[in-house]
Structure 1
């Protein structure tokens, strides 16, 4: 393996549960589930579907939403050690999340700094929460409506032939960036899709698994 450069998902990967789903279960009316199913079946693009989801929740609940996640979100075991390992070995670590700035930054604060954090933005001035998309698809993306387009972000970062791209993820938003990776650490839905698309991957449960793999594969 060459010099690793790591792109890691947040919801359901760094955290044990998907924070958007957790918020919807707690605060959204029942119709959120049909929207979620349409996203997973790709009837709705991620951008369109997530916009619809947050439009179900009043902006007045902002502090309540954040307090709920700070009380209930669990960081996956080994993440703190994983971040330390990357820093000690000068391995770039980027967080690329389809999540929202109002919870991604607070939940990551004690673990940084990182080489970069990319996520969607939210505003709370209207009656319901509005999502903004600062990282749209570039000209090379065929999907057009990714929302936070993870492959476009990877393409925007200077990566040399000496680098091996490592992707860590769990969900539908991680499929396309996994196609760019030399190594994929996958869980749940992403693992299923890697098998479906014949993308080689390493199954992981905690970030200790990722550390063990890197210690074995990355030259000292």
Structure 2
């Protein structure tokens, strides 16, 4: 591990953009729903996505249409999903230092809101794909945050979201493919799982983490740099 110094103008505002599935939640919620309720065929669609034949937007749209579940079944399934408890401390830290924190996910808005409600986190803004119930057992997806120019063909283009905050320094916290593109332009990257390998491959400065508790110390270094006329150090894994 080594240190990279960043000159941070003290007047610049940070904004945390945080992934949800596999980052905040301990399970990928979409995969869990598909494994529990999807009709046959969703795994073949997943393989097409993994092979690069289709983008994640098309992949998820086709998979969600295979779900066979009621709203009650959805909620009962989500009741068993927990989040990384360290995220609660991150929310407190961001609030204390007046840092906006937005959950930006290529997952399902209804799912994210339901899980966050259990932890009294309904005040957090969420940008995600829109899960819509068609009838008692059927569902579809809408993509209010899509971008036709999205390199990863995601339903929610995280780079597009970041562009709307061009006057702020972006701190990305993520774990997977939907975070790859934004990792290349974000000012700071906290990475886990496959996002670590992407950062290493692309020589992207990042802090590797497994749990949100690992983020506390390096994030505090960034915050202190805003209070003092010094440089912040980023740990590169």
The verdict on a shared fold, with TM-score over 0.5 as the criterion, is yes
RMSD over equivalenced CA pairs, Å: 1.8
Output the CA distance in 2 between the equivalents of 1:13 and 1:27.
23
Contiguous gaps of at least 5 residues in structure 2? 1-5, 228-237
Alignment of 1:1-220 (within 5 A): 2=8, 3-58=13-68, 60-70=69-79, 72-109=80-117, 110-114=120-124, 116-126=125-135, 128-137=138-147, 141-143=149-151, 145-157=153-165, 159-160=166-167, 163-219=168-224, 220=227
Asked whether the equivalents of residues 113 and 122 of structure 2 are also in contact (C-alpha less than 8 Å), the reply is no
Q: Which structure: larger Rg?
A: 2
Query: Structure 1: where are the runs of 5+ without partners?
Result: none
Structure-1-length-normalised TM-score: 0.88
Structure 1 outlier segments of 4+, above 6 Å: none
Q: CA deviation at 1:61?
A: 2.3
Secondary structure, counterpart of 1:176 in structure 2: helix
Structure with greater helix share of residues: 1
Please give the secondary structure, in 2, of the residue aligned with 1:168. Answer: strand
The CA distance in 1 between the partners of 2:144 and 2:104, in whole Å, is 12
How far apart, in 2, do the equivalents of 1:137 and 1:129 lie?
A: 22
- Which deviates more from structure 2 when the two are superposed, residues 175-184 or residues 82-91? 175-184
3-state secondary structure, aligned to 1:104: helix
Q: Is the Cα–Cα contact under 8 Å of residues 40 and 172 in structure 1 kept in the other structure?
A: no
Q: Give the 3 Å change call, closer, same or farther, for CA 205–142 of structure 1 in structure 2.
A: closer
TM-score between both structures, scaled by the size of structure 2: 0.83
Find the aligned partners of 1:144 and 1:88 in 2 and give their Cα distance.
Answer: 34
CA drift of 1:62 comes to: 2.6
Contact 1:78 1:206 in 2 (8 A): yes
